[in-house]
Chain A
Amino acid sequence: TQLLEQSPQFLSIQEGENLTVYCNSSSVFSSLQWYRQEPGEGPVLLVTVVTGGEVKKLKRLTFQFGDARKDSSLHITAAQPGDTGLYLCAGAGAGGTSYGKLTFGQGTILTVHP
Chain B
Amino acid sequence: GIQVEQSPPDLILQEGANSTLRCNFSDSVNNLQWFHQNPWGQLINLFYIPSGTKQNGRLSATTVATERYSLLYISSSQTTDSGVYFCAVSPLMNRDDKIIFGKGTRLHILP
User: Are A and B genuine complex partners?
Assistant: no
